[in-house]
Structure 1
Amino acid sequence: MSIRPSLCLLMLPLFTGCQYLPHTYYFTAPEHEPNPAWIRIVDFTQHADIYQYENGVRSGGVVRTGPLPFINTQDVGMPKAGQNLTFDYYETPVRPGIETHVGMFWEGPRTQSCFVTVEFTPQAGRYYQFRLTSGSNGTCTAYPSLIERDKDGNGWHLTPNPDVTYSPAGPKAKMYYKNGRFEDPDYQPPAGLYPGM
């Protein structure tokens, strides 16, 4: 093959606008929302996402701030409800009154993972918390909560949020293997394929 056809093939992605390269969408908090709702995601923020749907248009994305899967702790001053939160949680305002999906994903050793998406419509001025347990015992469980003021008005507490639905099924999801060969505990992959195992 001559150099000209080879060069043309190499230049082709530049002219297609790199549309075939992977693209990540990131969640951006509303800047001028006069009375937002508030969401906190606890644990596994490196894989969490928030999407909102209005008139058939989806906006949002993953809550981390860059392409590397680093944990993204962001504190915007939501009430802690007696919790000792110091690491791996993400707080943000969201637009109220529209369909909202909070996706949580756990990824463990040997390509194990599980995920749950919680769907709800946030109300203006309310505080919502979402937590996912790890799938290391075979399942992961989502815990959607409301953060509410105590009756005496001096503190805050968590109560289960009954106004949610789940995708693909319920709050509990089975752990699965991205690579089925790892289901065999004796399987040892080539060292170059999965370094560190």
Structure 2
Amino acid sequence: MRIATALWLLGLPLLGGCQYLPHSTFFKAPENEPNPSWVRIINFTQHAAIYQEENGVKTGGVIRRGELPFVHTQDMNMPKAGQDLTFDFYETPVRPGVKTKIWMSWEGSRTEYCYNSAEFMPKPGHFYEFWLSSGRSGTCKMHASLVERDAQGEGWHLTPNPDVTYADGSDVHDVVYGNEQFRDSNYKPNYPLP
């Protein structure tokens, strides 16, 4: 009887259908956009999303390719402002003139996490960069920059983006613990052995 019960419990989710399984929406870059804006997200791409909203219709989602949260690097040859970017960054075109939200989060090893988002209105042909610092210090900071050509026209540099508004009005957010017991660095979960 125990085997039959176990099989029934394992098979029950299959009978319930997929509505109980996690479902993610994914960001899809615009196709055939004549003069797009460009966005680069640096760090923690496995936990980042891009949303655009026009006429009350919100589109977009996470920037990864599938349900599993792996680091997703995509180099679309945006100008690099003297940076050596080789891993964990994502570049994509976005529709200009549409309210755009960049959402990023960091997850630590002891159930701690930190997230922030920034909204802005991208301009055609402009380059934007967002990166989130790690929350290991107790806070995480979202950096929003414009990637602009140098005055001499030979190189590129980053300048803070003044047209960005942050969630809760701040580019810095505190780390939160999913399990408050882990706030104590000496806490060790006591898992019973089988």
TM-score by length of 1: 0.88
**1:185 positional shift:** 2.1
1:189/1:10 CA distance change after superposition, 3 Å: closer
1:126 CA drift (Å): 0.2
Q: 1:55 to 1:177 in 2, by over 3 A?
A: same
- The residue that corresponds to 1:74 in the other structure is 74
1:151 equivalent in alignment to 2:154: no
Cα pair 2:23 2:67 within 8 Å, conserved = no
Q: Deviations over 1:28-69 (max 9, x none)?
A: 101111111000001110101000011111110111111111
- Residue matched to 1:40: 40
Give, as a single letter, the amino acid of the residue that structure 2 aligns with 1:13: G
AA paired with 1:77? N
Q: Encode CA deviations 1:63-105: one digit per residue, 9 max, x unaligned.
A: 1111111100000010001101111100000001011000010
**Shift of the alpha carbon at 1:21?**
2.5
RMSD: 2.1
Q: Which residue of 1 aligns with 2:5?
A: none
State the Cα deviation string for residues 116-164 of structure 1 (Å, max 9, x = none). Answer: 1011010110000001110100111111000000111111100000001
Q: Which letter maps to 1:120? A: F
Q: What are the ranges of 5 or more consecutive residues in structure 2 without an aligned counterpart?
A: 1-7
Q: Which amino acid aligns with 2:124?
A: A
Structure 1 position 182 matched with structure 2 position 177:
no
Amino acid at match of 1:177: Y
Alignment of 1:113-152 (within 5 A): 113-152=113-152
Q: How does 1:54-69 map to 2 (within 5 A)?
A: 54-69=54-69
Structure 1 stretches of 4+ with a deviation exceeding 6 A read none
21-30 or 87-96: bigger deviation: 21-30
CA contact (8 A) 2:132 2:142 kept: yes
Aligned length: 186
Distance (Å, rounded) in 1 between the aligned partners of 2:39 and 2:67:
22
Task: Single out whichever of 174-183 and 119-128 deviates more from structure 2.
Answer: 174-183
Aligned to 1:168, the other structure's residue is in SS state helix
* Identical amino acids, percent of aligned pairs: 57
1:170: which partner in 2?
170
Unmatched tracts of structure 1, length 5 or more: 1-5, 193-197
Structure 1 98/10 Cα, relative in aligned 2: closer, same or farther at 3 Å? closer
1:128 match: secondary structure: strand
Tell me if structure 2 keeps the 8 A contact 1:116–1:171. yes
Is the 1:117–1:168 contact (alpha carbons within 8 Å) kept by the matching residues of 2?
A: no
Asked if the contact 1:48–1:63 (Cα under 8 Å) also holds between the matched residues in 2, the reply is: yes
Q: TM-score, normalised by structure 2?
A: 0.89
